Amino acid sequence: MKDPLSTTFSALADPTRRAILAHLADGEANVTDLAKPFLREMSLPAVTKHLKVLENAGLIQKTVDAQWRTCSLSPAPLQEASGWIEQYRQLWEESFDRLEDYLKEIQNPKKRKGKVHARKTK
């Protein structure tokens, strides 16, 4: 069994599923409306399979009201994924800041000569 974060990223790996989530970011929608943009490229059962993957990952909820099946976003898995990514974003930003400082240091010949001279005098 996959951990929840792996399941979330696996579901997000497909562009069709990301497009469905983008549509749901505007509010809930029924399955028919969610499927419309994709029906030229795939069948309704294929879209339904994508919805099932999103539902199994906990990214969407489906509710049934008579003959209508409405979908809405479930933010918790996206928040968890965002939190995980945020940790690494901070690490990368710190690394880039250090790299930027280093590049400025080696590109400024006056500072560089001063540091070399300071080392020789010790």
Alpha-carbon distance 45 to 58, whole Å? Answer: 20
User: Minimal CA–CA distance to 51: which of 78, 19, 98, 77?
Assistant: 19
Question: Residue 114 pLDDT more than 70?
Answer: no
Which carries the bigger pLDDT value, residue 29 or residue 96? 29
Q: What was the pLDDT predicted at 122?
A: 46
106 CB contacts (<8 Å, ≥6 apart)? Answer: 112
pTM of the predicted model as reported, rounded to 2 decimal places: 0.73
The encoded tokens of residue 85 equal: 């990514």
Q: What is the mean pLDDT of residues 90-119?
A: 75
What CATH class has 4-75? mainly alpha
Q: Which of 75, 85, 80 is nearest to 24 (CA)?
A: 75
Domain boundaries, given as residue ranges, for the chain: 4-75, 77-121
pLDDT of residue 112: 53
